[in-house]
Amino acid sequence: MGICDGRVVIVTGAGRGLGREHALAFAAAGAKVVVNDLGAGLDGSNTGEHPAEQVVAEIVAEGGEAVVNGADVSDWEQAKSLVQQAIDTFGALDTVVNNAGFLRDKMLVSMSEDEWDNVTRVHLKGHFAVLHHAAAYWRAESKAGRARAARVVNTTSGAGLFGSVGQGNYAAAKAGIALLTIQAAAEMGGYGIQLNAIAPSARTRMTTSAGESMASAMAAPEDGTFDAMHPGNVSPLVVWLGSAECEVTGRVFETEGGKVTVCDGWQRAGTADKGERWKPEELGDVVPRLIAESPEPVPVYGAR
């Protein structure tokens, strides 16, 4: 009996990296897993590969239950079919882990419209599309008197929380995902749906240096020390957030190695209220004082 015994879980982008580890961890915890992966390259290009099949084979070899799904999560109808496949195959849906995404890094001044649109489409719209169709199912179940302990785990990033030089498209999409999580938690709680997000730090295709194979990057340290950057370290939190035991919603967690940190979003800090309209010249003294009274922001990754 695992913490997710009998639950039906969708993991997007589950062919490699973090998603693969999440799928394997859910299966080990007793869940039936829909392993979604488009087989795209790091930049979103079609590689013709089918890594989701390998993940399903691993789960089945260990006695678990899993099926392959190759949907593009940013396509509205394909996202709907992904949710429906879970219901048709396993009779229900309990948890969605939105993880799929890719990179097209450029400085903003050099970034093309397509590079902006494609990254925001897959990350932000991809999260929303799957969430929308899953939530529609859960709402219908709730109204029919069959409310489920529905859970959603979204994937934001430190780049989305604090910014990252050269990743404006990715950072903006991930920032949107963080707030989408908080927004959806406020809207969907009445149907038994709980939503949280993680901002993981781990070694994946996105972070592995050029020329370094994933096989070598994923190898355990020869001296037996704890590998803090292994993506599998992130999955226990994801599995707990996706379980019926979780009673937390609308929060964002940064996770790396053995460390879990709650990250707060925008908070009101220093304030001044004149009680009437300000004159522009008055604010030259007021704004610096308010900034001095407020916490220092976390520096943007890569900023000088």
The catalytic residues are: 157, 170, 174
Q: Tell me how far apart the alpha carbons of residues 221 and 253 are, in angstroms, rounded to a whole number.
A: 27
Residue 113 neighbours by CB distance under 10 Å: 7
Strands 32-36, 65-69: parallel, antiparallel or unpaired by DSSP?
Answer: parallel
Burial 199-215 (b: 16+ CB within 10 A, else e): bbbbbbeeebeeeeeee
**Beta-sheet strand order (sheet of 8-11):** 65-69, 32-36, 8-11, 95-97, 150-155, 193-201, 251-256, 259-263
Q: How far is it, in rounded angstroms, from Cα 114 to Cα 55? A: 31
8 A C-beta contact, residue 154 and residue 11 = no
Q: Is 241 exposed, middle or buried (0-12, 13-18, 19+ CB in 10 A)?
A: buried
Closest CA to 172 of 159, 188, 183: 159
Six-digit token string for 216:
């070598």
